[in-house]
Amino acid sequence: MTTQHSNGRTTVRPYEPSRSRLPRPLIITAALGAGIAAAALARWQFDQYALDRLTQPGRSMFRADPADLGLTGYQRVNLTTNDGLVLRGHFFPAYSYRGYKASNNGATAAEAKGSVILLHGYGSNHDTLLEYANWLVIAGYNVLAYDQRGSGQSDGERVTMGAQEAHDVGAAIEWLLAHSYAKIAIWGFSMGGAAAILAAAEYTDLKAVITDCAFASLQEEILSRIRYQGYPSLISIPLSHLTAATLTDHLQAQPGEYDAVNAVNWISPRPLLLIHAGEDEVVDPSDAYALYDAAGEPRELWVTPRSAHTQSYHDFPTEYKQRALATLERAFSKVEL
């Protein structure tokens, strides 16, 4: 660009391109878009973190020798789920314990009163339940216990807080029916208790349900576990909602679809025994009352005073056995083959 001065001199200035400014609305829109994208990325990262923390608690490799508890004649069992996972466990025939001939006049598994499926809790495995298998076998019941998906020695990368574990019970039922054991009950502990309720709502082959410290809803159980880890309510409540939503999305389920409190009414008219520890620090005792209120008859609730999570049997062994065996007797005495 040139400029003509009054004295006749000409000045040449370099070319300067014109500068245009972005409209303010466009700047605001871009900033909002970047913020939304960052929030979406953060939510996705949280979802993955929450899903991993919740569904991968670590595998319990605790192993127990059944023979140490007097269990004999058992066999190893592999159960195959609908999605191709192998669940590994044991089948303990009725009366298969040391000294059974003297105590039962030579009774055998063919004369069993019924069969009981045992489901362990979150982050555990079925070896932790061998002491229960011991006195069930002595009382004349077959016992089928296995490591649930993502636990112990079974296949699977994740546990699902009872959701897919409930469907897996179908593989255990099929195994028992294939071996001509038609009178079947289920007994679950903590997460296994929720799975037992959900399974019984799905499979009518299960003639009785016993739970020990089962939780009523997925979100409430997640909240309890977060609080148990020491998080304050200001953080734990919204965190539990987000984590429950993440797991529900992962399962491609509707909210509440895998809440035991929404399924427990489908157990009736089969017997239901709800056992809960009065000072449970993992699953609040209010869950037991919620399940009881939602269930149909016949139902029974026993809350043991001063007991910690799943410790009712160790605190009150005699009454515990009496209540459990009475529930099984009521169920199997009504079964028509």
The DSSP code sequence of 95-151 is: T-BTTHHHHHTT--GGG-SEEEEEE--TT--GGGGHHHHHHHHHTTEEEEEEPPTTS
pTM for the full predicted model: 0.84
- Exposed, middle or buried: residue 206 (CB in 10 Å: 0-12, 13-18, 19+)? buried
The confidence score (pLDDT) of residue 77 equals: 98
CATH 3.40.50.800 is held by the domain 56-217+256-332: no
**Contact (CB, 8 A) for 146 and 172:** yes
The confidence score (pLDDT) of residue 17 equals: 56
The DSSP code sequence of 200-254 is: HHH-TTEEEEEEES--S-HHHHHHHHHHHTT--HHHHHHHHHHHHHHHHHHTT--
Q: How far apart are CA 164 and CA 161, in angstroms?
A: 8
The confidence score (pLDDT) of residue 337 equals: 42
**Contact (CB, 8 A) for 195 and 162:** yes
Q: Which residues of 59-83 are buried (b: 16+ CB within 10 A; e: fewer)?
A: bbeeeeebeebebbbbeebebebee
The DSSP code sequence of 31-90 is: HHHHHHHHHHHHHHHHHHHHHHHHH----------GGGGTB-S-EEEEEE-TTS-EEEEE
- Tokens in use for 170? 């179908």
Mean pLDDT, consecutive 10-residue segments, the chain of 337 residues?
Answer: 58 56 63 58 54 82 89 95 97 85 52 95 96 96 97 94 95 97 97 97 98 93 78 80 84 88 98 98 95 98 97 98 98 70
| Dihedral class, residue 274 (left if φ above 0, else alpha if ψ from -120 to 50, else beta) | beta
The confidence score (pLDDT) of residue 239 equals: 80
Helix (H) or strand (E) holding 187: strand 184-189
Q: Residues 288, 322, 72, CA angle at the centre, nearest 5°?
A: 110
- Exposed, middle or buried: residue 179 (CB in 10 Å: 0-12, 13-18, 19+)? middle
Q: How, if at all, do strands 141-146 and 114-119 pair?
A: parallel
**Contact (CB, 8 A) for 317 and 275:** no
Q: How far apart are CA 254 and CA 71, in angstroms?
A: 43
The confidence score (pLDDT) of residue 103 equals: 47
DSSP 8-state class, residue 18:
P
